[in-house]
A and B are shown apart, each in its own frame.
Chain A
């Protein structure tokens, strides 16, 4: 049960925010989310799930100030995609492309009040609510209750180009709460891109329903803004022979917590979640993943790599839960950090919980320094120390980047990473 103190905090937070005006179904969904939140209370540092990451900056009513980095280019410059732009958490229609694209229906959450979008009833707040057990995620419930904007995307065919959610932060005190729902129907396929900081502080939830034989590719870059605080949740529910691939590139940020909660419901599904993070100085980056295998013959793979220096902190909490029904599961999890000095730290909690008996599951976690012998080898061939170090950093991250299927997008990510390293952003 929630302690009274944290309920009081939740009340204080709720009191400062208004339940947005919504149509009937959405209003109900928001009301249910408020009840969930009230029952759970807000997270506190002494919660086991927040042991390594202090949630206070995410829960306090006043937004911690975050300076805006000028001149940062968008994450997917040069890639042909349909851009939907959000500025400080508000959809900017003028800056966005016309959301008309064959095979996909796109609507704005804020307009869902006037439209009865049937499929969204079964997704909005529903996947989030499922994700509340066995571990409570109150800030996701808070998001379902209070999200002010977002998109609803239904995919019925193979979409010709990616849809990109482009976030810009212009205010030092913006508090963005965005909620997106995606439904990829039978056999359909979508690539969804996300880039930039949604606000000085942001809380983003994405619920993704991947139907039988459907595929969802997700690639995001979280900018190199030093001060922003970001919390993201991706809740996914997968059908038979469906595919889910998610990759996140993060550089800097005072606080980033990326949670992925994924259920392999149907048989023969494939889910890969990967991340590459570069942290320098005031940087706290937390990947928290919970993958549940329910269907038989599914494959899940988690690959997380972090490069840390100047007192940066990296966290990984990854769990694979294999239910009794999930025979022939193939689960893999690797989390590694490269510590470029003695001041940085990597905190890691890998977990496997297996109830089926015919299962292949493995996990590994390492943290280490840069290989001096390799560094010397490169330098002895004339490569300057800094450049040699960058090469080794890129090599370390390569396994995570290899999780991006689309070669053009992978190149864009690689180029962005190289430019950050060359600019000394890290």
Chain B
């Protein structure tokens, strides 16, 4: 599904290298988690994969089902099936949540040469999905993320994911700023979307989230590289001993 090879990235504005040769393969239908200390490059990886400005790729590749992502515009990556759940979902005053989602769904369908979703069909689907995530009608009508609580913003990200039906989902610190109940609700939303054809890359600081979204593979990222890969037990090790031991071992 997702194949990242030797990815080197630096910040465009300053000459600061962030990713120093990331190698990572996420197989179809699997959930991979990336853990790592602050500043290890986790969020940069998610931004570079989704096409945010401000980064220069100096070497390497990232392919989604064989297609080179790094050469595509952000909207083309989305249409190809990539989705990033933002750590800090963006507030967009003046754009209704519903309008936003319908525009996005239909833009992707159009880009893939599929028929656009009718207003009626869209309403039906979004109501069902919103109900599962306990998103009320008012939240759908309000401008995108404006006045939403931290938990509501993250639930809104998962709602977008559900509506857009991507095949590769990246969750960037989706647990940050959430209380236990909100995290459970978000995790349930994610779990409901798990399927044979869909892969996940879950980026997190803490093992907590991985209690709810059980990963198949756990990677530890440090200093711009994946330094260790293992099973779910690796997350527990981090939880118990912190990163220091692992880092001392590999660096």
Residues of A at the B interface (CB closer than 8 Å) are 371-374, 376-385, 387-388, 391-392, 394-399
Do A395 and B93 touch across chains, with their CB atoms under 8 A apart? yes
How distant is B153 from chain A, measured CB to nearest CB, in Å?
Answer: 12
A391 to B107, Cβ gap below 8 A? no
The complex places the Cα of A392 from the Cα of B83 at a distance, in Å, of 21
B95: interface (CB < 8 Å) = yes
Q: Are B84 and A380 in contact (CB under 8 A)?
A: yes
* A385 close to B78 (CB less than 8 A): no
CB neighbours (8 Å) of B107 from chain A are: 381-384, 387
B78 engages A379 (CB within 8 Å): yes
Task: Say yes or no: A374-B164 contact (C-beta < 8 A), given A382-B75, A382-B108, A387-B107.
Answer: no
- Interface contact B53-A380, CB-CB below 8 Å: no
List residues of chain A with CB within 8 A of the CB of B50: 380
B104 touches A378 (CB 8 A): yes
Specify which of B79, B89, B95 is in contact with A392 (CB 8 Å cutoff): B95
Contact across chains for A391 and B86 when beta carbons are under 8 A apart? no
Beyond A373-B90, A382-B75, A385-B73, whether A395 also contacts B84 by CB under 8 A is: no
Contacts of A397 in B (CB 8 A): 94
- Complex CA–CA separation, A316 to B167 (angstroms): 49
Which residue of B83, B91, B93, B103 contacts A383 across the interface (Cβ within 8 Å)?
Answer: B103
- Give the nearest-CB partner of A379 in chain B: B74
Q: How far is the CA of A397 from the CA of B95 in the complex (A)?
A: 11
A383 to B160, CA, bound (A): 13
Cα–Cα, bound, A380→B69 (Å): 13
B92 CB-CB contact with A under 8 Å: yes
**Chain A residue with Cβ nearest B84:** A380
A380-B78, A381-B164 are contacts. A387–B51 as well, Cβ < 8 Å? Answer: no
A378 proximity list for chain B (CB < 8 A) = 92, 100, 104
B52 contacts the other chain (Cβ, under 8 Å)? yes
Bound-complex Cα distance A192 to B92 (A): 33
For the complex, what is the distance from the CA of A396 to the CA of B143, rounded to whole Å?
12
The closest CB in chain A to the CB of B112 belongs to A382
Most central of B52, B74, B95, B100 by chain A CB within 10 Å:
B74
A377 B108 Cβ-Cβ under 8 A: no
Contact between chains at A374 and B104 (CB < 8 Å): no
Among B50, B103, B164, find the residue whose CB has the most chain A CB atoms closer than 10 A: B103
Contacts of B93 in A (CB 8 A): 395
State the B residues within 8 Å of A (CB). 50-53, 73-75, 77-79, 83-84, 86, 89-95, 99-100, 103-105, 107-108, 111, 143, 160, 164
Whether the Cβ atoms of A385 and B75 lie closer than 8 Å is yes
Q: Are A382 and B78 in contact (CB under 8 A)?
A: yes
Q: For the complex formed, measure the closest distance between the CB of A64 and the CB atoms of chain B, giving whole angstroms.
A: 36
Which 5 A-B pairs have CB atoms at the shortest separation, nearest pair first? Answer: A395-B94, A382-B78, A382-B108, A381-B104, A379-B74
A385, B75: Cα distance in complex, Å = 8
CB distance from B136 to the nearest CB of A (A): 21
Docked-complex contact A387 and B103, CB < 8 angstroms: yes
| B91 and chain A: residue at smallest CB distance | A374
| Bound-state Cα–Cα, A392 to B86, Å | 19
Shortest Cβ distance from residue B129 to the other chain A in the assembled complex, whole angstroms: 15
A377 touches B104 (CB 8 A): no
B164 → chain A closest CB, angstroms:
7
Residues of B within 8 A of A380 (CB): 50-52, 74-75, 77-78, 83-84
**A379 touching B94 in the complex, CB below 8 Å, given contacts A384-B107, A387-B103, A387-B107:** no
| In contact, B75 and A384 (Cβ under 8 angstroms) | yes
Q: Which residues of A contact B160 (CB under 8 A)?
A: 381
What is the CA–CA distance of A85 and B92 in the complex, to the nearest angstrom? Answer: 41
In the complex the two chains form, what is the Cα distance from A379 to B53 in whole Å? 12
Q: Which residue of A lies closest to B143 (CB)?
A: A395
Would you call B53 and A396 a contact (CB within 8 A)? Answer: no
Sample of 14 further A-B pairs with CB below 8 A, known A377-B89, A377-B90: A374-B91, A374-B92, A376-B51, A376-B52, A379-B73, A379-B75, A379-B78, A380-B52, A382-B111, A391-B100, A392-B92, A395-B143, A397-B94, A398-B94
Known: A387-B107, A395-B95. A382 touches B164 (CB 8 A): yes
Q: Can you report 29 A-B residue pairs in the complex whose CB atoms are below 8 A from each other?
A: A372-B53, A374-B91, A374-B92, A376-B51, A377-B92, A379-B74, A379-B75, A379-B78, A380-B50, A380-B83, A381-B78, A381-B100, A381-B104, A381-B108, A381-B160, A382-B78, A382-B79, A382-B105, A382-B111, A383-B103, A387-B103, A391-B95, A392-B92, A392-B94, A392-B95, A394-B94, A395-B93, A395-B94, A395-B143
Contacts of B90 in A (CB 8 A): 373-374, 376-377
Cβ 8 A contact of B92, one of A372, A379, A382, A395: A395
Kindly state the separation between the CA atoms of A379 and B78 in the bound complex, as whole angstroms: 8
How far, in Å, is A14 (CB) from chain B's closest CB?
Answer: 48
CB B237 to nearest CB in A, in angstroms, measures 33
Docked Cα-Cα span, A398 to B99, in Å, equals 14
Give Cα A158 to B53, complex, Å: 56
> Which B residues lie within 8 Å of A381 (CB)?
78, 100, 104, 107-108, 160, 164
Closest to B82 in A: A380
Min distance, Cβ B131 to any Cβ of chain A, angstroms: 21
Considering the complex, give the chain B residue whose CB is closest to the CB of A402: B94
The chain A residue with its CB closest to the CB of B74 is A379
Q: Which residues of A contact B79 (CB under 8 A)?
A: 382
Q: Which of A371, A382, A395 has the most CB of B within 10 A?
A: A382
The residue on A at minimum CB distance from B86 is: A377
Q: How far is the CA of A377 from the CA of B86 in the complex (A)?
A: 9
Q: How far, in angstroms, from A373 to B104 measured CA to CA in the complex?
A: 16
The interface centre, meaning the residue of B77, B93, B99, B108 with most chain A CB atoms within 10 A of its CB, is B93
How far, in whole Å, are A380 and B79 apart by their CA atoms in the complex?
9
Chain A residues with CB under 8 Å of B111's CB are 382, 384
Chain A residues with CB below 8 A from B94, complex form = 392, 394-399
Contact partners of B52 in chain A: CB under 8 A: 376, 380
The docked-state distance in angstroms from the alpha carbon of A380 to that of B74 is 5
- A372 to B12 alpha-carbon distance, docked (Å): 15
- Nearest neighbor of A384 in chain B, beta-carbon distance: B75
Contact between B95 and A382, CB atoms less than 8 A apart: no
